[in-house]
Structure 1
Amino acid sequence: MLGLFRKLLPREDRFFDLFEQHSRTVMGAAEALNALLAGGPDLERHCDRIVQFEDEADGITREVLLAVRRSFITPFDRGDIKDLIQSMDDAIDMMHKTVKTIRLYEQKSFDPGMQAMGAAVVEAAQLVAEAIPLLNRIGANAHRLSTIAEEVTRVEGRSDELHEQGLKDLFKRHGSSNPMAYIIGSEIYGELEKVVDRFEDVANEISGIVIENV
């Protein structure tokens, strides 16, 4: 009877499947953003890819939130599930916002500092993509999950430094001669920094889940 009852319950692993699907869309968007920042003739195509990935991610987020409401058993706290998927979605939403700014100001080329921040976004996304499947066995993977969270924090620290140096370089080049170029550049730098910040939020959510479940 108990076995039959368990079969009737929603499967817990559907959450992990959805988390992994979402992390793949985030990874795809991060790679597209990095490619976009290289400039060149494919810039608009990369922008379109990010918009598409963001739309897919929104759909997956809705599925997760619906599953939280419908599931009798969840792999860990419902609030943690919602916070984790929302933090992941915030990262890709911020990439989409960056695309909107780039399109608004019709930017076609980007500073080396921006490109370095694009590489940092990819690195953070790769770390999150590695961490997500490990949540399926938190106890066995607790050490690696904690290490990944620390690595994301280090990436965010490097991104802060790139952001600050980028603003200094912008001001030296454009501060007095071309204020609009400085404003546009600083806005793009700021949004790239926020993308990496959102990945740190994901890492913090993962750390919290590990602490609560080990």
Structure 2
Amino acid sequence: MLLQLPERVYDRFMTVSHAEGSVGMMSIFRKLMPREDRFFEMFSKHSKTVVAAAHALDQLLKGNDVQKNCERIVTLEDEADDVTREVLLAVRRSFITPFDRGDIKDLIQSMDDAIDMMHKTVKTIRLFEQVSFDPLMQQMGGEIVKAANLIAEAIPLLDRLGANAHRLAAIAEEVTRVEGRSDELHDQGLKDLFLRHGASGNAMAYMIGSQLYGELEKVVDRFEDVANEISGILIENV
């Protein structure tokens, strides 16, 4: 069955299409048709869930209610998974999306990867029954909160890419700087572990500590992946 466009939309589409030629016709068509804007609501809901998980991780690394905050992260990860499924279902069902379907899928999955990595960190903490954490790990928790807040700021701005392009680019750059600081903390942490446990031959303490440092670093890496997805959307649409 042929798609029947409203006459006003069809006239606008044909006028712009003749002016621009065949190149970019689908992009023009996308801009003329009504958009499915609930994607932004779902993105924001997911990002708020990730921020809440980042705060819980930061608190448990400080030794505050470790088990309670572990449980909270597990619950929040389940909630984030639900939102991710909603987004992927909406991508399949929506005729017009605010930007490319592949970009929507990659964006929400990269966001979900960040909270999944927090959940993996919680599994390690529980497995090895950790209740206290190195000061450098605690600093990494602070960097994770910064990265989560930056992404949460960026997500609503995607609704108006052109108007918000400058701020979105700045946020992506700041997330990269946060990732760089986290890398430095990770390296310092491994060195500290070696100095404290290497000479004494406490291989288990070194192994557990290095695994936690590695997982915390990967949490921030996943936020950088989100920032890279946002940068890619900017390049394609602005």
AA matched with 2:198: G
1:11 CA displacement: 5.2
1:62 CA displacement: 0.2
Tell me which of 113, 130, 134 is aligned to 1:107: 130
Count of matched residue pairs: 210
Is 1:35 the counterpart of 2:35? The answer is no
Is 1:133 the counterpart of 2:137? The answer is no
Tell me which of 195, 209, 212 is aligned to 2:233: 209
1:10 CA displacement: 8.1
1:175 CA displacement: 1.3
Q: Sequence identity of aligned pairs in percent?
A: 77
Distance 2:164 2:152 in 1: 14
Tell me which of 143, 167, 170 is aligned to 2:193: 170
Tell me which of 40, 44, 65 is aligned to 2:88: 65
SS of residue matched to 2:132: coil
CA contact (8 A) 1:10 1:71 kept: no
Residue of structure 2 in register with 1:120 after alignment: 143
Residue of structure 1 in register with 2:18 after alignment: none
Is 1:2 the counterpart of 2:25? The answer is no
Deviation track 1:139-187 (CA, whole Å, cap 9, x = no partner) reads 0000000000000000000000000000000000001321100000000
CA contact (8 A) 1:159 1:196 kept: yes
Distance 1:32 1:10 in 2: 39
Instruction: State the Cα RMSD in Å.
Output: 1.6
- Structure 1 stretches lacking a partner, 5+ long: none
AA matched with 1:130: E
Residue of structure 2 in register with 1:75 after alignment: 98
Deviation track 1:80-127 (CA, whole Å, cap 9, x = no partner) reads 000000000000000000000000000010000000000000000000
1:13 CA displacement: 1.2
AA matched with 1:128: I
Distance 2:199 2:235 in 1: 50
User: Which structure is higher in RCO with an 8 Å CA cutoff and minimum separation 6?
Assistant: 1
Distance 1:50 1:175 in 2: 32
Distance 1:201 1:58 in 2: 18
Residue of structure 1 in register with 2:222 after alignment: 198
Distance 2:170 2:114 in 1: 20
Distance 1:70 1:175 in 2: 56
Distance 2:198 2:125 in 1: 20
Residue of structure 1 in register with 2:207 after alignment: 183
Residue of structure 2 in register with 1:98 after alignment: 121
Rg (Cα) greater in structure = 2
TM-score normalized with structure 1 length:
0.95
1:2 CA displacement: 2.5
Is 1:26 the counterpart of 2:30? The answer is no
Distance 1:101 1:10 in 2: 46
Distance 2:60 2:98 in 1: 37
Deviation track 1:32-88 (CA, whole Å, cap 9, x = no partner) reads 000010114x11100011001100000000000000000000000000000000000
